[in-house]
Structure 1
């Protein structure tokens, strides 16, 4: 609830729920370092309509002057936040540096005080849901911070960050965010992040020549066989990816209807459901799987219950849909190492931008008597995908098609068709392992999501996890689905099982 006369931009949200445009002054003129230019990557161009939205719950009221000073400091660390896309008649756009007035990017909305007092949680949800309807000014860098300075059920105040996806993927942005954060227990040091999981399997073991023996021959045979399996799985997965981009689509369900089904079109919202990370880890350890396996299984259980309850379909039936899993293709350098590079000033050594590959992950809808069956199915599916180089080939295939067909044709043929022919999108992001604070503001939670992908004309869910106390299911989908889908009820059901 911004005050009048604030030096920061102000937006108003009327009681009807229909947002008014954000009114912000024009950006400052370009600075002297505008000569520092580089082409916009093909992947970034394909992200033209996609935006990342991060909801951050703070444990104290917003201190705008302190946060403004912190943002101004961080801008120098990441040139993309000081750049705009320009064409000047060129075939492809390029990045050009510009001067940034931080106040233009700090939005203090004026909300209906009656609505905020009656239900502050709903007021935050309504405001975040309005962001896709508010265009961003492309004459200045495409990022914004929205400050909602009133308490909710899980935070004292809320900050909503909106960033155009061309500025970077989730890994890039989380690196920058964590580089500006500090440990809540020791504000003099960076937050601690988890170590990378060591990859297992015969193909990841270095080859060592051994003296001839029965055991050595068996180990060699297993090593060769693992590569044959890898090659076969890769061929099958790449063929499936190509068929999906060309013609192969999921069946029409409650989660994905035909394009001409106008009755299915309804307002879309962001809805956050939180699960205790301790509960998730308990299931993970008991079943000897990963956190992502548990989350995919929990999502499968939630969507299955919703589907069979609303569709009237026989509960003995099964349905296999497909999801798109986004994978970071950077070298296996730990997130901690990247954050340390930023902190030490070695920004040029950090792998910025969008470096994403794609995996088509089968997604099963079924009713199981044992809730842990959902986790087992997810674990088997993900393990099968780990024995494939699909993510590398899809990343390279996209680049090749971009060069052969051009950005416009390739974007329509691969990017849009791939999302339109699948049902759900998954992504995940690991965060710090401890409580953090940002410029003196304790961070209670972070919940990232995205909007603008072609898939969300159907009700697709985009799920990210942030590991320090809770993991969040953040959904961007049809209004009626968001109101009825209770992901938060799934983990307690899984925990009721006896191991």
Structure 2
């Protein structure tokens, strides 16, 4: 491609390349059989991915310093990094070793700009692929949809995994408009957007045992995995009217953080203390995973490629020794129902796009950094394939995702696959030295909710 044909970066892409917000997504795919290196390289060479402009372009700067994409010839060997030797760890399991590897990448290994901004690490001794992609290339939905083009179903090797538009978008269901509903939408939108403004100025969470702050993105990290069963979440869902999986997830967060703070806090915490999270919300018209070929072809359908998400602020409250675990879910649902009714996610996306376009990435990055520094944790939730799959003919055991560090001491990424949901918990280990205890608090919270839900369902029969 000639210089005249260079494609400018989107505002979101420029934001994610700014040093304060530089973000790389890492996806770990554990497989059941040894990895065949030649097959991996051959599959990549012939994949749809290498026809996508983002995966076949260099990042370049023009004479004014603005970033552009420039088409280049991809050399697969430069992107495949082979690690033959087993890695050492304080722990014995492959899971702990891979998580330690990912935690190191989260703070110490940027992607080189002399090639397209992605690479694939093959951890041969641990039967694991680690696919790293710069966030400027796309968001979690885009990248998961692309990843699935390399996969096939275990029960039908000729078919790609099922791609379903499941979940609920940030806009919610806005049918039955009336005056009361319009007033609520406007009121909640103004209130929630005002909080964004205050977070960029001075309002910050009270300091707790999980608080981070400016500069914490550079601190050493530890990564652990909390494991959940989707069926357990569905059981809880039945006991709380009109609840969603996201309601369950945030209920688990509230309960788990309350348990952990009770363990770690030497001073008594005030009941109802607010701990604020920054959640990423998919804004596509068709939520869930998408057909990768359609994402490449169409921008008008609402399912186009790229970074198409907004941010919302989620308040989680500390509650000591709640007698009914389902109350955490009910509180989470009440909050999320208001968030869905508001225009918070859409407005945060539009305002961010406006600030990037008119004031540049440095100012936009500063605003985002201030919001992150004044809140406590980050969370994202991506829905993966529902059935078991293979990648390059190798059955997949797990799929997990995380991204590079932010000024939060606690970053949470949930990804579901084949009836399981794995929560990657990335912590600043000097602030949260015992992340496995935190992971167990989350796991125990869901199990307690499941038991309470089963008892509630049995009582109401």
Q: Same fold (TM over 0.5)?
A: yes
50, 68, 72: which is aligned to 1:76?
50
Contact 1:35 1:96 in 2 (8 A): no
What root-mean-square deviation, in Å, do the aligned CA atoms of Structure 1 and Structure 2 show?
2.8
The range that moved more, 283-292 or 315-324, is: 315-324
1:340-419 correspondence to structure 2 within 5 Å: 341=294, 346=297, 351-367=304-320, 368-412=322-366, 414-419=367-372
For residues 418 and 288 of structure 2, what CA distance do their matches in structure 1 show?
17
Contact 2:388 2:417 in 1 (8 A): no
Deviation per residue, 1:11-33 (Å, 9 max, x gap): xxxxxxxxxxxxxxxxxxxxx67
Residues 278 and 40 from structure 1, CA distance in 2 versus in 1: closer, same or farther, beyond 3 angstroms? same
1:181-260 correspondence to structure 2 within 5 Å: 181-197=151-167, 204-205=174-175, 223-257=178-212
For residues 84 and 63 of structure 2, what CA distance do their matches in structure 1 show?
40
34, 39, 51: which is aligned to 1:66?
39
Q: Give the drift of 1:171.
A: 1.0
Q: Give the drift of 1:304.
A: 0.9
Pair 1:491-2:446 in alignment = yes
Q: Find the residue that maps to 1:465 and give its secondary structure.
A: strand
The range that moved more, 128-137 or 106-115, is: 106-115
**Could you tell me which residue of structure 2 aligns to residue 144 of structure 1?**
119
Q: Find the residue that maps to 2:46 and give its secondary structure.
A: helix
**Could you tell me which residue of structure 2 aligns to residue 53 of structure 1?**
26
Q: Give the drift of 1:408.
A: 1.3
Q: Which runs of 5+ in 1 are unaligned?
A: 1-31, 152-156, 208-222
Deviation per residue, 1:52-79 (Å, 9 max, x gap): 0111111221111111111122233321
* Higher RCO, Cα 8 Å, sep 6+: 2
264, 267, 278: which is aligned to 1:324?
278
**Could you tell me which residue of structure 2 aligns to residue 18 of structure 1?**
none
Q: Give the drift of 1:316.
A: 6.9
Q: Which runs of 5+ in 2 are unaligned?
A: 457-461
Contact 2:272 2:317 in 1 (8 A): yes
Task: Calculate the TM-score normalised by the size of structure 1.
Answer: 0.81
Residues 470 and 69 from structure 1, CA distance in 2 versus in 1: closer, same or farther, beyond 3 angstroms? same
Contact 1:179 1:340 in 2 (8 A): no
**Could you tell me which residue of structure 2 aligns to residue 23 of structure 1?**
none
**Could you tell me which residue of structure 2 aligns to residue 12 of structure 1?**
none
1:424-435 correspondence to structure 2 within 5 Å: 424-435=377-388
**Could you tell me which residue of structure 2 aligns to residue 133 of structure 1?**
108
Higher Rg: 1
Pair 1:464-2:414 in alignment = yes
Q: Give the drift of 1:166.
A: 0.6
For residues 200 and 34 of structure 1, what CA distance do their matches in structure 2 show?
38
Q: Find the residue that maps to 1:54 and give its secondary structure.
A: strand
For residues 47 and 301 of structure 1, what CA distance do their matches in structure 2 show?
32
- Alignment coverage as a number of residue pairs: 439
Deviation per residue, 1:362-416 (Å, 9 max, x gap): 111212122222111111111111110111111111122223322212221x111
Q: Find the residue that maps to 2:427 and give its secondary structure.
A: strand
For residues 403 and 213 of structure 2, what CA distance do their matches in structure 1 show?
23
Pair 1:165-2:138 in alignment = no
For residues 390 and 67 of structure 2, what CA distance do their matches in structure 1 show?
37
